[in-house]
């Protein structure tokens, strides 16, 4: 017998953007007519790839396009990707909440999904009543819940409040109870979306080890979506990387996570003044070269580093003035500098790839800063406000105290003398 427990073939899902109601009667009628005539849905043809950063006039997008993969029994399968890559849509299709536009999913087992903790919890009912309610909603039989009731209560660690209405619970208690129910589900396939983001560290660890148990000892299959890369690396054996609704990579979890990080770092997304292919040249990416380990979009406060800007020239450009701006979290301009003002002057480029380097340091409070660059040569060649934020960390020497209270984080020296 095959080990495959779930198989996805050519799975696609189309969504309509914007207001559902506007013009939907006419679209419905159009659809219906083409269905009668045996043609395919006219709106499927015009849908475009899902990318939340582009704006198109088209109101249909493919949230998922042509997804193929299969998962074996007992595997913990991770799904990673940026916001809007289609992770949640995929889970919704797998858990039968909504149907695909195309393709099919073959399943060989009972599916239980946990897309949210405490689905259906009623605030007026007690913890005890809600365990039964939530368990039944997640697909458990009454005897099954009764049999595991004590286990559930013990796992949640809130015995004392079990007969209190859940509206009096703290949010942590609420989550604990809800996850405890879900952790004792017994489907062959368990789908979990981002639920570990809540709850304290101790409870998160408890949940992770519980899920490991579920797969390794009970031989059940787990789908796991999370932005918590540690959890994904810890739990999953294989993973799927989604990008703009398409499968970017499937493989061992280590390799996929590496690809995901790489992808995130080189994020070329951002706000520009021109379409890149219509300019004489454009900025491709930026990175920092400094002390911070393993992350080239962050630096320590006050540390000297190189800001490296990759630039592709598509034509020769003379008298280029490089403009560089850093904006704080509240929108204040922290730094604005031009190569024509400082050391460097004006540049000249020929078609090809270049790297601009700006040696600098940022004596500012820790936080996320926005990077904006522009190249001026009699007019703007390209301006680019990067989506990726520059993260300033607390100074490496630990000096600076509570730096978040002020904009600047400058090394100060206090002394006292009597006069």
Partner 1 sequence: MQNKNGPSAQAIAFENTMSYPINEPLLAKGSEPVNSPAPPPAPERKWLETITPHNNIFSLNIKEIWSYRDLLMILTRRDIIALYKQTILGPIWFVLQPILTTLTFMLVFSRTRNLHDGWHHPVILFYLSGLVIWGYFSECVVRTSTFFKDATPILSKVYFPRLIVPLSLIVTNLVRFSLQLGLFFLIYLFFILFKGEHMAPNAYALLLPVLILMVALLGLGAGMMISSLTTRYKDLAHLTTFGVQLMMFASTVIFPFGSVGTGLYGAVMKINPMTGIIEAFRYGWMGEGHLSWSLLGYDAICVVVLMFLGIITFNAIEKSFVDSI
Q: Is 263 in the site for partner 1 (CB under 8 A)?
A: no
Give the Cα separation of 85 and 52 in Å (integer).
9
Residues 137-166 that bind partner 1 (CB under 8 A): 137-142, 165
Residues 111-130 that bind partner 1 (CB under 8 A): 111, 113, 115-116, 119-120, 122, 124-125, 129
Q: Is 54 in the site for partner 1 (CB under 8 A)?
A: yes
Looking at the Cβ atoms of 210 and 312, the one nearer to partner 1 is 312
Which residue from 269, 296, 314, 389 is in contact with partner 1, where contact means CB under 8 A? 269
CA atoms within 13 A on the CB side of 376: 13
Residues 294-323 that bind partner 1 (CB under 8 A): 319, 321, 323
The backbone torsions φ and ψ at residue 148, rounded to the nearest 5 degrees and listed phi first, read -100, 10
Residues 56-115 that bind partner 1 (CB under 8 A): 58, 61-62, 65-66, 92-109, 111, 113, 115
Q: How many residues bind partner 1 (CB under 8 A)?
A: 98
The single residue listed with the structure tokens 């149907």 is 99
Which residue from 250, 325, 354, 393 is in contact with partner 1, where contact means CB under 8 A? 325
Q: Helices (DSSP H) in 195-286: which residue ranges?
A: 201-216, 229-235, 253-265
Looking at the Cβ atoms of 104 and 357, the one nearer to partner 1 is 104
Question: Pick from 279, 277, 274, 301: which is nearest to 288 by CA?
Answer: 301
Q: Is 17 in the site for partner 1 (CB under 8 A)?
A: no
Q: Is 275 in the site for partner 1 (CB under 8 A)?
A: yes
Give the pair of three-digit tokens for residue 97.
């909440």
Least CB distance to partner 1 at residue 125 (A): 6
Question: Pick from 121, 123, 156: which is nearest to 135 by CA?
Answer: 121
Exposure letters 375-389 (e unless 16+ CB within 10 A, then b)? bbbeeebbbbbbebe
Nearest-5° angle of CA 182, CA 183, CA 188? Answer: 90
Which residue from 2, 171, 201, 418 is in contact with partner 1, where contact means CB under 8 A? 2
Q: Is 53 in the site for partner 1 (CB under 8 A)?
A: yes
Give the Cα separation of 283 and 276 in Å (integer).
9
Least CB distance to partner 1 at residue 159 (A): 22
Q: Give the distance, in angstroms, between the CA of residue 401 and the centroid of all CA atoms in the same chain.
A: 32
């Amino acid at each position: 017998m095959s080990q495959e427990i779930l198989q996805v073939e050519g799975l696609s899902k189309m969504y309509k953007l914007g207001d559902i109601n506007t013009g939907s009667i006419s679209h419905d009628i159009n659809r219906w007519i083409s269905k009668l005539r045996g043609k395919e849905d006219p709106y499927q043809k015009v849908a475009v790839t899902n990318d939340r950063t582009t704006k198109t006039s088209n109101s249909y997008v493919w949230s998922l396009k042509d997804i193929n993969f299969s998962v074996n029994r007992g595997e913990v399968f991770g799904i990673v990707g940026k916001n809007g890559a289609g992770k949640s849509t995929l889970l919704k299709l797998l858990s039968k909440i909504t149907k695909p536009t195309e393709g099919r999913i073959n399943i060989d087992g009972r599916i239980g999904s946990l897309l949210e903790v405490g689905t259906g919890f009623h605030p007026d009912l007690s913890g005890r009543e809600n365990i039964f309610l939530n368990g039944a909603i997640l697909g458990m039989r009454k005897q099954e819940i009764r049999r595991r009731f004590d286990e559930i209560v013990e796992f949640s660690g809130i015995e004392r409040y079990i007969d209190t209405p859940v509206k009096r619970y703290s949010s942590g208690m609420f989550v604990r109870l809800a996850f405890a129910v879900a952790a004792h589900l017994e489907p062959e396939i368990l789908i979990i979306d981002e639920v570990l983001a809540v709850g304290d560290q101790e409870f998160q660890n408890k949940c992770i080890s519980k899920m490991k148990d579920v797969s390794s000892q009970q031989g059940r299959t787990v789908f796991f979506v999370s932005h918590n890369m540690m959890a994904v690396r810890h739990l999953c054996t294989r993973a799927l990387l989604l990008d703009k609704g398409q499968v970017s990579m499937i493989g061992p979890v280590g390799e996929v996570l590496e690809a995901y990080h790489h992808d995130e770092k080189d994020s070329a997304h951002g706000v520009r003044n021109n379409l890149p292919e219509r300019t004489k040249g454009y900025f491709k990416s930026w990175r920092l070269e400094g002390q911070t380990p393993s992350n080239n979009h962050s630096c320590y406060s006050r540390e000297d580093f190189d800001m490296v800007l990759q630039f592709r020239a598509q034509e020769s450009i003379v008298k280029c003035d490089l403009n560089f701006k850093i904006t704080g979290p509240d929108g204040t301009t922290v730094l604005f500098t031009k190569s024509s003002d400082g050391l460097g002057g004006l540049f000249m480029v020929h078609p090809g790839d270049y790297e601009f380097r700006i040696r600098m340091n940022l004596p500012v409070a820790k936080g996320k800063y926005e990077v904006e660059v522009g190249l001026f040569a009699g007019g703007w060649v390209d301006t680019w406000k990067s989506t990726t934020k520059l993260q300033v960390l607390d100074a490496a020497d630990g000096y600076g105290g509570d730096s978040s209270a002020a904009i600047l984080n400058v090394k100060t020296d206090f002394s006292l003398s009597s006069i």
